[in-house]
Each structure stands twice: as C-alpha cells, then as structure tokens.
Structure 1
C-alpha cells in the first residue's frame, strides 16, 4: 500500500515539474493563433500572424542572418572543438591542465561579461561589428561545448581497437579515418547541434556585437517587445521553438541509432 502511494506521489511530482517547465511554452504557442492583437484576451483562432510574419521583410532578413551566423559558427566551433578534444585527449604536454581549465571556464563565464569582453577586443583590433564579428563570437562560446562532448566520446570507446589496427599495419591517418573518426562522429554531431542551438537562440552576445545591418532573430524579438506583447511575437517564438525542438529530435534519433548499432 505504501509503495503504491509513493508511486502516485512520484508521478504527481514529475507531472508538476513538466507542467511548470512546459506550460509557459504551450501558452506562447496557443496564443500565437489568437485573433486578438492585445495578446492576452482570447478572441478565436487565426493564422494571420504567421502570414504577417512571412510578409515582413525585416523578420526574413533577421532569420537569414541568424541562420548564416549559426551555420558558420557551428562549422568553426565543431572543427576547432573536435580537433582540440582529440589533441588534448591523446597527447600530454606542459600546461595541458591549464588549457583544459581555461576551456571549461568559458562555459561558466556570464554572457554579459563575455559580450563586453568581445566588444572591447573587436574594438581594439578594429574589427567592424556585424556578421563576421558575430560568427567569431558565437564560435568562441560554442566551441567548449563541442570540446567537452567529443572528449567524453573519446573516453567512452575501447582504444585497443586502434592499437590492434596499427599492429596489423595501418598508419595513424588510416586508423583515424577508419576507426577513430566514425566512432566519435556522433559526439561531433551532437556538439554541432548544441552549438547551432546556442548560436541561433543567443541574445546577449548579439546585443553587444551585432551591427546595424546584422540584426538577428532574437534581437528582432527583443526590439518588438518594446511595443508590447503581441501574437506576432508569439508566432515568431513558436517558429524558433519548432527549429530548436526539431534539432533536439534529430539528436535523439542519432543517439538511438548509434545505441542500436553498438548493441548489434
């Protein structure tokens, strides 16, 4: 009897946590279809706000900027982060612990401080604020996440496979392309997807480093909020949520397929 009560309490507790986490998101999605322009009073269902979004040139430009920045910074952070993880995991050198510590510090630094630091740095080297500065900034704060995920993947597979391949005559390049890279590829893809989400959704770094011609989608939403909350903002947030959740679902499919391959 006690165990049954405990199970029910556990289910209710977990349900309350999910309600707390996802109910605000659900409200945003539901009110993106609201006829009322006030954004709070429900007046019925409409798709007009989505049509208005797709006809807004400024929103389309902001979306393109966000997409270009996210893709470019993801490629840079994935290459640098994966290369760094392989090098730091496989080789020992003086100062290795310091380098790893500095990479981890980047994750816990408040974004406001990083935004100010990047703004000052770009001003010192006279790099114009805009798309290029945003790509470098996003790659900087995304790269440690890729590094950590790839390094954990490197620590998770049997390295005796590499030794066996080298004993059979394979050189280091052949071992890397045939064994190491395929095994860490899921980690690289997972890190790349996280880097993309972090870049696409970022506000604070964009606020400091973006130029007048490089407005991103989160900054566009922030500027629209100055005129009050409207269903158009809810519709824009819903589209961003769809992109984010789509990437997360892709990550789960990659993870599940990889587990199935390893079990077989």
Structure 2
C-alpha cells in the first residue's frame, strides 16, 4: 500500500496544477484521448504523489474529463448513434467492469515500489499501442458471432485492469479494439469508448474508495479541481490544433514522452 503523499509544496500551486493539466490535456486532445497517460507521470514525478495516490487522483480527473468529453462530441456523434450500437458497449463492459474491480483491488494490495514498476511497464506498452494502433481504420470486423463476443469480453477485461491500475479512461486501447474487432468508424469508436470508459472508471473508483489512500482526494480538492479544469481546457485546445501537427511526427514524439516517463517512474523513489 502506498504511503501518504508529501505535504503540498509551492510547485502544487494553482498555476502549476492548471498549467500541467492544460499541457497534458492538449497532448491528449491532439490524438483524441483524455491525456491521463501523460498526467500520471506528472503527478508522480513532478508533484511527488505516491503511486497509489497518483492513480486515484488521475482516476478522479479522468472521470471529469471523460464526462465532459461525451456531450462535447454529441454534435459530431449523437447519443442516438451510441444507442444504436449498445450491444458493442455491453459486450466490452461485460469484461471491463470485472477487470476494473480486479485491477483496483490488485493496486491497493501492491507495495509502492512494485506499483511503480507495474505503472512504468504499462506506460511503455501504451507507447507501443499508440504507434501501432492509433492509425487503425474501419473495415470488416476481424471476428463475428460468438468468437467476437468472447474476444470482446476478454479485451474489455484487460482494458479494465489497465484503466484501474493507471487511473486512465483506456481510450488508447478501446479505440483500436472497437475499430479492429467490431469494424467501427473511428469517430464512432471515440464516443463508444467514452460510453464504455465511464462505467468502467466508476467501478474502479468505487473499489479505490474502500482504501485509506482515497483520502488523498479530500486533502487535495483544490489541486484536483484546478488540474481537472486545466485538462478540459487543454483537451479543447488540442482538438482545435488537431491536424496541424502530422501524425507521422506527433505519435512518435508522444510515444517517446511515454517511454521517458516510464523510465522515470521505474526509478522513482
């Protein structure tokens, strides 16, 4: 179990938390994600939160960002389009809800040193997925029928574990899964991933609420809200800048940031 985070420092002032959130939100917005993968190393490496507390804070901010993103996207992908594909959402949720509970339960039992290692490995794996899976295009689903349902539950379970352990929405894994496994259009996949992410994160959040480290939210309410607002503003800015920086340059750069972050988290004391 993680030790309590150090006392708030001047580096955790409102400008720093808002600016950090805005920067991370912009990075995420540029690739159509919430940016939580980049926010977690910032919480650990710059703001000096212990591993589990950083994950819980990241989870809380991810909930705020994802809850805001779903209505923002409604103009492009209406809620009726999500409802038309409810079977896909239910298929993935059948695995992700269980995975989220399992992952959060695992995280609260791990020693801080072990959780740092797990987080760093997952950040590195997400960097690989970012490069290989983000440019997936819609087409025929790779599986159909019962095989697709079983694969969807298995994929959801793994994604739920990752989302809970990192405190992320899991869009970097959900979107390629929706596109490749179910043949969803990339814009629809983005909204479907949010529909899966919200209940998945709530389950993980509920499990974390039973651990004493959950008190980090009460001790850092202003920091949490300020950084969450910064993340939303940054995600909006990143969306406006979308397409200005070519993916051929952007994705490798972001993957390098994740690899460097993973290395720093691995060696975090």
**Which fold has the larger relative contact order, with Cα–Cα distance below 8 Å and residues 6 or more apart in sequence?**
2
What range describes the TM-score normalised by the shorter chain of this pair? 0.3 to 0.5
Normalising by structure 2, report the TM-score.
Answer: 0.33
| Greater Cα radius of gyration, structure 1 or 2 | 1
